[in-house]
Copies of this chain bind each other. A is one copy, B any other.
Amino acid sequence: HRNTSTAQVLYNFTAEPGNNELSVREGETLTILNRTVGGGWIEAQNSRGQTGLVPEDYLQVSTVRSVGWFCVQSVTESNELGDVIYMDKAAVKIIFNLSAEAVEDDDGEWDDDWDDQSVSSYHGNNQVDEDTGASGRIILCLCRFPFSKGPNPEVFLLAKPPSNSRDRLPVYMAEVGPVWLYPTSPLDCVIADPKKESKLYGLKSFIEYQVTPNTTNRPVNHRYKHFDWLYERLMAKFGSALPIPSLPDKQVTGRFEEDFIRMRMEQLQAWMSRMCRHPVVSQSEVFQLFLAYKDEKEWKAGKRTAEKDEMVGPIIFSLIEPEAAELDAAQVEHRCEHYSRFTKSMDEGVRELLNVGHTHWKRCTGPLPKEYERIGRAFRNLSTVFNSSKYPGEETLTDALTAAGKTYEEIAHIIKQQPQNDLHFLLETNSEYKGLLGCFPEIIAVHKAAVEKVKEAERLVSAGKISNSDRKCMNHRISCMSYSLQAEMNHFHSNRIYDYTRVMQLYLERQVIFYQQIADKLRAALSQFTTL
């Protein structure tokens, strides 16, 4: 087993006896055995060799992405003091090398694409604080992705608007408030037909997914690695303004197993559909490039162009063109606070639903059907005993009792399968939203930092250190940022209402069928008994 992966335990977890669970303590390191158990559970082994299921949420899995995030999160955490840690290619390589033994790339290859990726432009921005000549402190984190090339927001707050208007992001006023420009026919795509492909004469294998956009109806093939590249580019470009949810996690073992491939395809589909539904993302050049993939050569050329894109990070706000009047600072701050509270509360709500959902999943696939099986077997056993009485007319009872026993065994089976039928979608949707909500703190932090910067500017104006026109420019820009945030929140809200309505309907529909099916089966079992 070269492809092992480890996880850090985040919280204590006590196993329920008899349920194949593993008790773990905070800080413990586990070896991941299976990530496709479902229902929010991961199969793991502790240092004493004991194995069992542990809730996904209790673990920090050390995949390549997690390692990347770990570094980045420490950046994010320290950035309130204004320190930004830049990592050059060498540092990034060290991080990867640390885990290269333990974790492989999705398709067993490491370097073939990383090498032609330009990360050297970091060095160009390394001195950005000196360039701006402002307060001398870098207030904003340069996003949590190590490859970000974006300048800090002060550049945006005072920079000239870009000459190229092709990328402009208009914000319109609708009934609900500021909204993005939505395309007349919404983009969507279907991911299907996962195929195992290989290269290097069969030495390296990978899964290729067929992605068919409704615009061209022409299928293009992409590997997980391509999705990952797209994610990184979207994060770099839009991460300061829009929530770009993570891809489904990199898989370490069992990535060619049918169940895993099906699950990953479903998750990639959900991710792509969400990206397609976003008017800014779906219309971006890099996203269109992904959907227009023709051959390896054109793809690599497109990638190189995309990676040279200068309009990434906070500078993206300079593309915002609101049709409505400039907002005043107090209003901007108020809205920002409101969104911050909302996303935090919703995050808590979603986590609680995920927690109880995972517990419920476990019960419905574990002890509960086992109990129904035992009830069914107890009825059938009793029926077998009764049959041995040789008492005349016994079979009027035992035929019915056996049928009742079988019914409960069937019900056990239905119960066991049910979470996959209903709870699954409820949990998937909430997981998606957990991912989206996880992006907002940073988006809101970017906004808040800009607000603080503008407040500081007000003081510098009084002190005569900033010109009145510069201040006006900054006020205009912060208003644009607020329109962007509002447009995004409105996009989020309308999608949320749609998604939750849809998933609740699906969940309840399936639950009704489930309970109705059990009631009907029991009614049939009841009818077998002779009325006395």
Contact = CB atoms under 8 A, between A and B. Distances in A.
Contacts of A404: 504, 508
Interface string A42-81: 0000000000000000000000000000000000000000
Contacts of A530: 501
Given A371-B356, A388-B342, A505 B490 contact: no
Contacts of A394: 493, 497
A509 interface: yes
A519 B519 contact: yes
Interface stretch (A25-33, A232-240, A343-351): A343-351
A353 to B, nearest CB: 4
Contacts of A381: 349, 352
Interface residues of A, number: 68
Given A505-B529, A519-B515, A526-B505, A374 B391 contact: no
A341 B387 CA distance: 13
B397 A501 contact: yes
A492 to B, nearest CB: 9
B374 A356 contact: yes
A261 interface: no
A471 interface: no
Looking at chain A's contact residues, the main secondary structure is helix
Contacts of A82: none
Contacts of A496: 386
Interface centre among A17, A356, A371, A532 (most CB of B within 10 A): A356
20 contacts: A175-B392, A342-B388, A342-B389, A346-B382, A353-B375, A353-B378, A353-B379, A356-B378, A363-B371, A386-B497, A396-B501, A400-B501, A404-B504, A505-B526, A505-B531, A508-B522, A515-B516, A515-B518, A515-B522, A516-B516
